Each structure stands twice: as structure tokens, then as C-alpha cells.
Structure 1
């Protein structure tokens, strides 16, 4: 998918919410009032048992087999249950370590039937006795031995990972305390420093390039290091270095002739381990006999991700995956190792980076997610937690429609939160009827810091409402139309969200970021209404010259109405690139300037703005009933989970 950098840049239909199934363990009716077929899974169960409450299955995969048998007309679980009604799989509390993704297929009996649903949920979901259920793609690391110098080691076979979790918390990769002054060349970098010659395993080292005044942060590996007492040459992995050089020369016109700024971080060498307690390094030098090193004795459990995806779902145009719900589950400890290869991670923006088999081509790909669905309709993700993940949390691709993402929590993920996008320029393939409501998305982008909290790209008639999106190193909420055609998107509402503390690392973005035409007219375009955005305030060193914006209609933004939003304590309230038809109505903000990088903003209309006190904007808002109502109404509908 091509991306054009920097030079590119309200009456809507009400969307009905999906009904919920009564959440109790025991005999419950389905939505039509018929008894539900019920299956049970427990860590202490046995896959040879019948899946009843007293004799549950041991794995979700075995329960899925029973669900498919019901769809074929067989029986499972409670005696006499049939697939004509709701099918509920109750998972008892505990951790289920998956050896492969749970794969739902619209052609294999995983869908509901006759308007009924298949539900996988935590035991007691929605009640005070709901049990904690964790689906993990990780592997426990044991057999730790002292390695000298305060380090500990464990042999881990062929394990490969870019994340490690110690006592339930993300442990940092080993990183250099100081970054040598490296100057780009076609093959890599040169420096007068001899420090790179002290790297013990240069082929494992990774250089990070953070374009703080823009929207990209790339990563490429080192191939080799050579030098003498006068200096060092660092030869980089290809094609990553070539692609990164070309990308960033186009994006930023780097004056060094090679397109790359010097690296801002150097990671992943055993010589860096002593510099930070709790850091780790994986020695992969001997195939099949990898060794994991940790600075400090591991006193809690240590888990490394193994699976890239935990749950997948797919269907076809004729047989979509449908009427499936996942509720009250924790999805954790999935990884993503592709950036460790020679392709690296030449990041573009958000979820996109360059890859492909042709090393001379720039082919865009998207970061994976732990849960991934395409060709699906009438799905529900409710009350789940996505945490300790090595890429993004949940993605919905083309030909998905009528999907509810409600009351979930996303925290501590390497990539973004919820990503919904089409890979097809056919408007019929665009996702439709997507509802992202009452979710708490925070501390995303832990490794890939150009990630978005919530992304909707090329969607129709969709809703982002009452979410709290916070502590994101790039933009909080993004609504895009990268196809550049107003017929490929429309009918989006972004309303009553609380967005704060964004752009802490990359500042060419904002609290709520939009790009491209959002519909053929204002009536069919995007409505951004009654949101509160504060502390979109990037790195202090560059923000005064080039700040992020609370509301950011970027390159070619068109047919967007911003109404009754409250903006304060941001480095800038409103700005963007070459906006077209944009309307601001009834905005409460603590600054009055709007800045357009390209174009003079003649098609941007401002009406009814109210200036808040820059010294005490929140208190001033509280004193104004209309402003206070927006402040009180934005954010989560339910308590933080």
C-alpha cells in the first residue's frame, strides 16, 4: 500500500449495538429464549471427557471441535444440546498455554447458526464470580543458573523472541548506555569511535532511528563491524538499510546525502547487559541451543512469547465467519520476530513498514496482531484484556462488517491497539458497521513507537465512542482514507472519547488524527464530536517548532466536521497539512491559533469557538455548563478494568 508522506499528509445513521447473552454458568437461554448448548473447559480437565461442567475439556481447541460437531448435527456438552440454539463455551479460571493459534473458519462450523451465536467466555462472565482466564502464546523459561557478574542464564533450545516478561512485567532488552556518533554511508555507518568494536556479537545488534519531529521510527540490524584504532565501519543488514535510507531520504530530505539520521539507540548485545539491571539478551549463535541471559536473579516466573498470533478468524464472501463472540478473556504473551531478520523494520507510519521479496522494491506491509480477523460479520469482542503482546492487539481486515469491540482493555503492547482497515480499493470490501466503544487503550507502542492506539482506515458507517486512549508515543485515534477516494469511506463518528498524553515520542500527529477524504459530502463524511483531548505534547526539544495537535486534519483531509470538542494543555490545538473541506463548530480551546503547513486553509471554517484560560483551562471549562458537560461525558462508560 503506497503512502504519500507529509505532502499528502452531521447527520449519520445510528448504529445498533449487538445484544448480549446472559452471562451465567448453568443453563441459560439464548437470544431467542431457547436453552443454550453449553461446553466447559478447565485447566484440570481432560480432552477425553465430554466437556460438561463436572467433566470439562482441558483445552479450548477441544471445545472448538465439539462446537463444530454440534454444527454438523451431533451433540456435545449437556445432554440433548443441539446447534439450533446458542452455543456457549465456558472457560474456567487459569492459564491456557496455546501450542498453536485458535483458528476460526467460516467454512468449518465455527459460526453461529440461525441467528444464534457461538460464545467463548470466562466462567461467570458479567457476574461477581467471573474467573480470570488467560490465553497465552508464551513459554515458561526455567532452569536458571548463575553466569557470573550478577548475570543468570537458561538454555532455551530453539526459542527466538524479542520480548521477555519477568514476574508478569516486560523486561527491557539490553541496550547501550551511550550511542556512538555514527555517520551514514551506503553500506551502513562510519565513526571515529572504537566502541562498536567492543560489541561481542555485532550480528545481533540493532540500531534504532527515531525521527522525533515526524512520525517514523525505524529499526535495522547490524551485519558486521570492522575497524582499528582510528575508527570503525558498521555494515548494516540489507535490504533493511537500503530501504530505510530511501524511505527517509524521501520523507525528510536528509542533508547527509544518505537519508538517515544517526541512530538514537543501540540494542541487543551481551556487552550491554551490565548497564541495566533486569535487562536480557538471547544468544542465538548455536542453532537449536540458544541461551537466555538476564541481569539479576529471576525471582518470579519468566515467560517468553512463542506464538505470533493467538486467535485468527476468516471467511469468504459466500461463507463469512459470523455470529461469534469472545468475552472476558485475557490474551497475552504473543510475539513477532520478523524485525530480527535482514528485512528489519523500516517503518513508514502507524502500522505500515516496508518489506517484500524484491530487495529493490518498496512494498508496504502491516504489523501483525495477536488476534486477526477478515471476511467476518456479526462478531463481538467484549470485556477482554490484551496485554504483554509483541505486536498489535486486534486487527480487522477487509470484508468485515457489523463488529462490536466493547469494554476491552489494551495495555503494554509492542504495537498498536485496535486496527481496522481494508486492503482493497473496492468500496464493497471496506469494513462496515464497526463499533469501538468503551475501551481503555493505554501504554501501547512499547517497541514500535509509531503505532496508533485506535485506527479505522477506509471504513463505512462506523463508530469510535466513549473510549479512553492514553499514554501513546504517537497518535491516539486515527481515521484514514489512504485510497484518496471519498467513495471508499464515509459515515464515521468519533464521539465522546477522552484522549490524553499522546505524541510523547513522535510529534507529527495528534490526539485525533485524520487523513484523506472522509466521504463525498459533509453529511456523509466524518463527525468528530464532544471529545476531550489534552496533553498531546511531544518531546520538548522539538515541540515548540513543530508541535503535535489535539485535532489534526492531515494531508487532503476533507468532509470532516469537528463539533463541541474540548482541547486544553496541548502544545497546539488545531493544525494539519493542506486541509480541504473542514468545519470546526463550538470548539473549547486554550489557544486560538491554527497552523496549516501547506495551503492556506481557506476551506477550513471556524464557528462559535470559546477561548479557555491558558492558565487554568480545566477550571475554566468547569465553570461553563456546555464545556463541563463535554468534560463529564467523555471517556469510559464503565470503570477502568
Structure 2
């Protein structure tokens, strides 16, 4: 889809909704919540709660159009759920556009520095934000040019001969940024000092530097980060007033209460809509329990009676790299907790045996930790259904050579999801996320980070968070201009959906699904399962955090990621799976970190993933990681179109530990060293068949991989079966663009001949990329429905004649030659065609290049 194109929205509720109907408006007050006297959002929620206890039919809350400026997150919980088979709808009033915004509107700009064109406006002292949007366009934080060069890493300081850095003000707010392979790393500075040689020393905050360089978290499988790459280079320096040099840049001095900005051409700050995001999260739907994570066997609430010992040097993948163990029958381990249940992690192995389990002094069951294969972090004891309160679980060794205790996961509350809630036709806009300002950005991969200090896994927060949801649906919504991720279906959310929605211009990712630290889970009611992300258009994610992806999924079961368009990303398009070789490392070592996962039965089907990997490396349009096959379920990767890989080494990238995949009927074009790659033996039990590619290269170093080479196509001569996949990939027709600019990488454009794509050129191309060919006779055909079309390209000294045909009828030639390079130049346009389907064909007839940039349909 092209920026600014129109989408047909997913059908919302009828204008005359059945059941209870409430109304809210941006300036609503009181508790009546009628069409004549609408209330605010919080009052509407409370009215839902009042009516919810006796739901005989659906409840609909209509949001009237306008901007709802949220200083606090709108929170929904189990009390706000649908009951008795009914649903609570939060929906746009028909024909209107309600916008939930986390921004403060800024006005009153005055010229501050005429020499540099800097304007300044007052904001409340203490205001924090990392983003700014002017007339709906993202501004850039003041920064140096890309890859400024001249820096040397000395200890935890970057030194340079340039003395100007030592003059930067508010030095603890300045950040150094390093885009390195698949990671982006950020750290605030502690200070900047002048060097004895007359240069500058940028002294990185010590804690952040440790996390990103000297002590990069590397806990091993399944929370594997490899410890690499490290923060050892400067991609740019960010966030100082003195770095404010270019139109469209801003600097926020929250301590002094000033916002500085250099307007772009045509921006009048007296009338511009200047939005400064100050809220992190707009909507939170949370059931219970929240996030669950195991604690180590050394937790102070654990007590060991008998002849116990500890071992922290085992190579088997223990939680926290160590265990408690005993060899004496009758020895016991007790754990006291407050909650409704607990899982005790141990290992299963041939030398483990029987365990008697007591809960609050009463023997409840006997279990066995025996297993034919040594497996780490196994929930050998699961206690559930207790009354919420303080309890003690005790494990007593009864047989076997060893009893081992590795960790404990407390379930603090009963499983009560927020459920049967539908959010329809709303717009969520203008959020920020300020943690990197104080503690940096400690990257692992794909928007999964390490928490500063604790080094536990966290993710970029989302504007809309669902924790422990069930049957929560987002349909026809818009998520835009965000300082984090758009939507996060987290903490065991089940049967929930993001569908027919538009996600564009986020600092983080698009949709996140699942967790990375619940791999061991054997309780199906606590698993992330049955969720769907389909028919969405997701573009321009990762605008600040370049490791973010369009759709990310960790440990999930029966997830469906289908018929989405995902494009213009700095890193991968879709990333599914986690844990690297946790479920398969015995394929390369006898004693290794080795456990089980519940992920399986997932589907990645019918997606159109294009123009990805624009900044970082070692990812791909579709990337899988870690095992599938949980519960014996094979996952499916089929019927996808992946194209324009840019820095991609592998277009279909089944990375370390990927297993139990059926990969078939995918079309791969325009990019990648390999159309598919399985590079190491821990990648196993994958069937690859009936794919098409314009690149014959692949790698297969996996184990038990049934590999069939793709049908290799040259010159754009795709067979009919491949053309059907191309045509069907992406959102269903009702959600596709109906007007506006269409980019050169659209599926509506077919290229015949030796074409290639080039992105991030920096010349002003539409979406900063083009398709091009050097061979006379090569052609591009654009299929469209309408009454007219225009062709836009660049003109330059190395371009020449282009033959034009409309519906197969020659229309003469146009010339793309010009003395200087000019982007997005209209070379041909036609109007007055009969309304209906048509084709525009462009054929190279001269010059060194024919460049295709965009089409405008009339």
C-alpha cells in the first residue's frame, strides 16, 4: 500500500446497534452517556460495568468523532468483559473518526535563532518525550549526520579530535546510537570532557555501557542473546540543542520547559498542528494473572531440609545456571508463596525418580522426574486451583538417584481473562516511551530487550496492551504516529485478533504476540494460543528502534498470521519463534542446554512482505527462530509473497533451532543472497517444497530437512500458479488501497526482464526506493482500475527514452533524461479512460537506466 492511500474499513457495528448503547465524546461529562448527553471514556467504562452484570445482549459504546487527549491510560479489566456470550463493543460512531491521543498540543512558537531558523515554544517544566509530530509528519530528534566517523572507543568513552562535542549542553541527555548487524544499541552519556589533544571524550553512562558492551546479557538457551554484537561504533549522536541543524528536527529541553524546532518548507508554526506525545500507553486490557516468570531455586522463599547441595557449573540449561539437588530419599524442598498455584521447575533425566507432593501439609500426589533424555526446566509439579492466599508446596524425594529443584513460577491470581471485548474503527495516535532516555536501549533482537539492571527480557511497550485476554478483537482500527509498538497481545492472551487495521509510523513494532520466558509452560490455560493477525496493512515500523519488526511472535500455539501487507521496515517483516536451539541442541552436542517448548501449529500464510531490511542485517522478510512442534503440531509457512529484501541475506530465513515447519508455495523475488536458508544442524525436521524464486541460491545445513529446490524463474515470467499467489498475497481486496499513490513494489506492477530494486537511496523517491533496469526492451506493466493514471519516476543524465502503451496500444515515447537528478517527476499521464480495468506498460528504449518510482490512479 502507498502512503496516503485510502482503505475500505472493516465493517463496524450497524448504526442502530442492538442491546445497550452508550455514547462518549471528547468533551463528554456526567454519567448519562446518551447521544444528547455523552460522557467521557472513563464514565462510559463505569456505565458498562454497571450494566455488565446482567448482560442479555451486547453493549456498544459509540465514540463520537474528535480527539480524546488521554493524560492517563484507559484501563479495562475482567469487570469490563462481555458476559453470557455477549460482547462489549467500543466503536467509532458511524461516519466519524475518534482519535485516542497521548499528545499535548504545542503552540506559541517564536523565532529563537534566525541564523539557523530555530523556533521555540514553552512546554510545562518536566515534560518528557522522545517524539514530535508536525501536521502529522514525524520530526527527527536533533542529531549528527549518519556515521559521523572519527570516533575511537577507549574504555567506555568514544573519543574524537572534534572539540565541538565538549560544548554540547545537557550532556546527560545526549545519546550515542549504534546500528550493528541485527541490533540497535543506545546509551545516554554520563558527561563530555575535553581531551588533552583538544578533542572531545563522550563518556557513556557506565551501567548502560556495561549492558551494551562489557557485560552484554548472554544467559544461554532459551534466553539466548549471544552477547554480540556490542556497542562499539557510533552511527550517530542524538539529542542536544547544538545538533539542531536541519529542517524537521526538534529538541526538547524538558528541564527548562522549552521545545525547539526548525520548520520544514511550507510549515507555518502559527497554524501548524504540533503534537508532543507525553503518554506511553493509551488502552490497557488486563485480566489475571499478569506476567508470569520463574524465579531461581535460590529464592529466599525456598527451604531445603536434608543433605542438599548446589551446582552452578552444569552445562544443561538450568534456570539461573544452577540447581539444588539431593541424593537422599526423604529429603525435602519447600516453597512458600502467595497466590492460587505454583509450578516447580526441575529436570527430567534417567537418574531422576519419584517425588511426593504436599500442599499446605497434605499429600496431594506423587510424580516422577524420570525421563529417557535429560531435559532442563521441566514443570514436574503443577499446583493450581488454590484459594488466593499464602500456601506452601513441599517436595519429598522417594526414589531415583537425584531429586533436583531448579525454579518456581507462582500464579498469583486465578485465571480470569479480560474477554469478549471488541474495539472497532478507532484511531490510536501519539505516544512516547521514555525508558531509553534514562537507561538506554539494551537490545537482544526484534524489539526484545534486556531490562536495565535485572537483565530480564522485556519488549518495547505498545500503545494498546492486552494482558491475559481472551476473545479480544481489534478490527478496522488505525495505529499511527507512535513512540513504541502499536499492539501487544501479551501474557497468555488467547483467541484474540488484530484484523483489517492500519499500522503506520511507529517507533517500535507493529503487532507483538506472546512471550519469550514461558517456553516451559504445560498449562494450556496459561499459553498464548489461538490468536490471529490478518488483513492488516503494516508499514514504516521501527522508525526510532531499527530492530523492530512488523509482526513479532514469541512462544505461541495455533497463531495465524495471514494476508497482511508488511513493508518499509528497517529489519525483518515477520519474526516468529524464540529460543534458538533450546529444543534441538542435542543435534550438535551431547551435553547442552536442552529443554522443551509449547510452540506449534502456527501459520504464516498469504502475506505480502516487501521492502524490508532497509537498515540492519541478518534478518529477512519472514524469519523463524527456535522450535515448533509443541504438542506434535507442525507449523505452516505457505502462500506468501516476499520481495525487495535490501540488506537481506536470506529471504525465507529459518534460523537456528527452527523445526517442524511445512514451507511451501511461497514466491520469492527481488533480493537476498539465498531464497531460503537453514544454516546449522539445529534447524531440523522441515519440509520445503513447491516454491518459486527468481534466485536459485539457497543453503541447507539442517538435519532431517526434506528439501525441494524452488522453481527458478527468470525475466519475470512467473507461471500461472505463482501469479495466483502474487495476486492473492496481502489483505483481502476490501482492505486494499482504492486511490492515492501506488509504489513501484506494488503487486499490481509486473516486471519483465532483468529488473532490480534499490531502496534507501536518499534521492527523494517515493518511499525512498525504486525498481530499475539497464536492458533495452525490459518492461513494467501496471494494472489498475480507474479512468486515468500517471507515471512518476526520476529524471537524470543516465536515463533516456521510454515507450508507453495503454491497454496494449502504443502511445509514443517519453524522455527521462535531464541535466540534473530530479525525483518523482511525472513523465506520462492519461485521463478520460472508460471506468474499469486498464494496463500501463513502460518499455526501456534508451539511456543507461529505466527507473520506476510510483503510479497515481485517477
Asked if Structure 1 and Structure 2 have the same fold, meaning a TM-score greater than 0.5 normalized by the shorter chain, the answer is: yes
Please list every run of 5 or more consecutive structure 1 residues that lacks an aligned counterpart in the other structure: 1-19, 30-35, 74-82, 125-129, 539-546
Following superposition, the deviation at residue 229 of structure 1 comes to 4.3
Residue of structure 1 in register with 2:169 after alignment: 200
> For residues 370 and 208 of structure 1, what CA distance do their matches in structure 2 show?
24
Corresponding residue for 1:426?
A: 521
Could you say which residue in structure 2 is the equivalent of 1:3?
A: none
- For 2:637, the equivalent position in structure 1 comes to 528
SS at the partner of 1:472?
coil
Give the match for residue 665 of structure 2: 564
2:21 maps to 38
Moved more, 629-638 or 436-445: 629-638
Change (3 A) 1:372 1:156: same
- 2:436 is the alignment partner of 1:465: no
Residue 582 of structure 1, CA deviation: 1.7
**For the Cα contact (< 8 Å) 1:194–1:229, is it kept in 2?**
no
Match of 2:185 among 207, 218, 221: 218
What does residue 311 of structure 1 align with? Answer: 283
Q: 1:189 matched to which residue of 2? A: 158
Q: Of the two structures, which has the highest relative contact order with CA contacts closer than 8 Å and spacing of 6 or more?
A: 1
The answer to whether the 8 A contact 1:568-1:590 is kept is yes
Alpha-carbon shift at residue 449 of structure 1 (Å) = 0.6
Q: Greater shift after overlay, 510-519 or 422-431?
A: 422-431
Q: Does 1:271 align with 2:242?
A: yes
How big is the shift at 1:377?
0.5
Deviation at 1:259, TM superposition (A): 4.5
Aligned residues of 1:247 and 1:259 also touching (Cα < 8 A): no
Provide the C-alpha distance between the structure 2 equivalents of 1:253 and 1:323, rounded to a whole number of angstroms: 42
Q: State whether residues 500 and 735 of structure 2, in contact with CA within 8 Å, keep that contact through their aligned partners in structure 1.
A: no
* Matched residue, 1:23: 13
Q: Which residue of 1 aligns with 2:728?
A: 633
Q: Distance in 2 between matches of 1:440 and 1:291?
A: 36
Q: For 2:630 and 2:284, how far apart are their aligned partners in 1?
A: 34
The equivalent residue for 1:589 is 693
Q: Check whether the contact 2:12–2:476 (CA below 8 A) recurs between aligned residues.
A: no
Summarize the alignment of residues 20-169 of structure 1 with structure 2, pairs less than 5 Å apart.
23-26=13-16, 28-29=17-18, 36-44=19-27, 46-48=28-30, 50-57=32-39, 59-72=40-53, 83-106=55-78, 109-124=79-94, 130-149=95-114, 150-157=117-124, 158-169=126-137
Instruction: Give the structure with the higher percent strand.
Output: 2
Q: Following TM superposition, by how much is the alpha carbon of 1:25 offset from its aligned partner in structure 2, in angstroms?
A: 2.3
Distance, in Å, in 1 between the alignment partners of 2:122 and 2:45 is 34
| 1:210 match: secondary structure | strand
- Cα displacement string for residues 364-406 of structure 1 (whole angstroms, at most 9, x for unaligned residues): 3211111111111011100000001001011111221111211
* Displacement of 1:548: 2.5
Residue in structure 2 matched with residue 507 of structure 1 by the alignment = 617
Q: Distance in 1 between matches of 2:169 and 2:211?
A: 27
Deviations 1:280-326 (A, max 9, x none): 10113x4xx42111113524111111111001111124321111000
1:240 deviates by: 0.7
Deviations 1:238-292 (A, max 9, x none): 31111111366977888xxx9533211111111111x2012110113x4xx4211
Contact 1:481 1:518 in 2 (8 A): no
* CA offset digits 1:326-349 (Å, max 9, x no partner): 0000000111011000x2112111
Given candidates 138, 158, 162, the residue that maps to 1:170 is 138
Match of 1:488 among 598, 602, 606: 598
CA–CA separation in structure 2 for the residues paired with 1:292 and 1:636: 40
**CA deviation after TM superposition for structure 1 residue 426, in Å:** 1.2
**Distance of aligned partners of 1:247 and 1:357 in 2 relative to their CA distance in 1, 3 Å threshold:** closer
Q: Which residue of 2 aligns with 1:450?
A: 547
User: CA 1:51 to 1:259, structure 2 compared with 1: closer, same or farther past 3 Å?
Assistant: closer
What is the match of residue 348 of structure 1?
444
| SS of alignment partner, residue 416 of structure 1 | coil
Q: CA deviation at 1:198?
A: 3.1
Q: Which residue of 2 aligns with 1:406?
A: 499
Q: What's 1:416 paired with?
A: 509
Checking the alignment, whether the CA contact within 8 Å between 1:470 and 1:500 is kept in structure 2 is yes
| Structure 1 residue 199: Cα displacement | 2.1
Change beyond 3 A, Cα 1:259–1:639 = closer
In 2, Cα distance between equivalents of 1:487 and 1:198: 53
- Asked whether the equivalents of residues 535 and 735 of structure 2 are also in contact (C-alpha less than 8 Å), the reply is no
Deviation at 1:177, TM superposition (A): 3.0
1:575 paired with 2:668, answer no
Contact 1:38–1:87 under 8 Å retained in 2: yes
For 1:176 and 1:318, the matched residues in 2 are separated by: 50
CA 1:524–1:25: 2 relative to 1, 3 Å: same
User: Of residues 422, 432, 445 in structure 2, which corresponds to 1:325?
Assistant: 422
Partner deviation per Cα, 1:133-164 (whole Å, 9 max, x = no partner): 10001111122222122211111112110000
Preserved CA contact (<8 Å) 1:441 1:469:
yes
Cα deviation, residue 72, structure 1: 4.1
Quick check: 2:142–2:249 contact (8 Å CA) kept in 1? yes
With over 3 angstroms needed to count, the CA separation of the structure-2 counterparts of 1:21 and 1:569, relative to structure 1, is closer
**CA radius of gyration, larger in:** 2
TM-score by length of 1: 0.84
Structure 2 residue ranges without an equivalent (≥5): 1-9, 219-224, 289-413, 584-594, 738-858
Of 625-634 and 435-444, more deviation after overlay is shown by 625-634
Q: Are residues 454 and 427 of structure 1, via their aligned partners in 2, closer, same or farther at CA, if it must alter by over 3 Å? A: farther
Inter-CA distance 245–465: structure 2 relative to 1 (3 Å threshold):
same
Which deviates the most, 504-513 or 193-202? Answer: 193-202
Kindly tell me the number of residue pairs found equivalent between the two proteins: 566
2:486 alignment counterpart = 393
Aligned-partner Cα distance in 1 for 2:104–2:231: 37
Structure 1 contact 186–242 (Cα < 8 Å) conserved: no
